[in-house]
Amino acid sequence: MPDFSLELAAGGVVCGVDEAGRGPLAGPVVAGAALLDWARLPAELVAGLDDSKKLSAPRRETLLALLETCGAARLAVGVASVEEIDSINILRATHLAMARAVAALGVVPDLALIDGNQAPRDFSCPVQCVVKGDGLSLSIAAASIVAKVTRDRMMVALDAAFPVYGWAHNAGYGTREHRIAIARHGFTEHHRRSFSVNLDLFDSFETT
């Protein structure tokens, strides 16, 4: 389970940063940033925060609500659009979203703990990359929940206008259902045109 070891070892003001939506075929990439007051964080959050991918959707919603109301967490979100993803590539767009999330915190951290192994360029503060950091650092785990819940909500909202693609439950990832819908109905302005989509998996019966 994640803890505050990395934050305490670094000292100073340390935030965690993580992203959601790097791999989907549609929708923006979203980054979360979390600055936690470890001495005041409720025990329920210390025990419950984890890599967002390991948590159910209802559990993520509950934890985000606790983070937003506990008085011991400063949270922020950064978004890079589909147009930015297609223009500068997904890695740079992810790093742009991360930089926007940290800037939105309203304070300049002494260090940002970044989930992953590639440091963003032109960040507003020093960074430390942490592989599988959302399972090691409570700050990164909190950021992963912020990013995941925020992006899932965005995809649910987009699903209301484009229901045939199943975004409310596939979040824009390249599931069989999603790719069949692309083959039948084509792309929308929310699809990433720079991503390769294999539509040859489906026979003529499925795509008619």
CATH number at residue 46: 3.30.420.10
In a domain, 74, yes or no: yes
Report the predicted TM-score, pTM, of the whole model to 2 decimal places.
0.93
Let me know the angle formed at the C-alpha of 105 by 34 and 111, rounded to the nearest 5 degrees.
65
Q: H or E element: which one contains 182?
A: helix 176-185
Mean pLDDT of 98-110: 97
Write phi, then psi, for 178 (nearest 5 degrees).
-65, -45
In a domain, 16, yes or no: yes
Mean pLDDT of 64-70: 98
Could you report the per-residue pLDDT of 34-54, keeping only the tens digit for each?
999 999 999 999 999 999 999
Mean pLDDT of 76-102: 97
Could you report the per-residue pLDDT of 126-170, keeping only the tens digit for each?
999 999 999 999 999 999 999 999 999 999 999 999 999 999 999
Task: State how beta strands 14-20 and 29-36 pair.
Answer: antiparallel
pLDDT for 49: 97
Q: Residue 113 sits in which domain range?
A: 5-154
Mean pLDDT of 109-131: 94
pLDDT for 198: 66
H helices, E strands: number in the chain:
8, 5
Q: Could you say which DSSP state residue 191 is in?
A: B
In a domain, 41, yes or no: yes
| Banded pLDDT at 196 (limits 50, 70, 90) | confident
Mean of all residue pLDDT scores within the chain: 94
In a domain, 57, yes or no: yes
In a domain, 168, yes or no: no
pLDDT for 208: 31
In a domain, 174, yes or no: no
Q: How many domains does the chain have?
A: 1
In a domain, 166, yes or no: no
In a domain, 148, yes or no: yes
- Contacts by 83-86, CB closer than 8 A, 24 or more apart: 85/28, 85/29, 85/192, 85/194, 86/192, 86/193, 86/194
| Banded pLDDT at 206 (limits 50, 70, 90) | very low
Three-state secondary structure string covering 69-116: HCCCEEEEEEEECHHHHHHHCHHHHHHHHHHHHHHCCCCCCCEEEEEC
Could you report the per-residue pLDDT of 5-24, keeping only the tens digit for each?
999 999 999 999 999 999 99
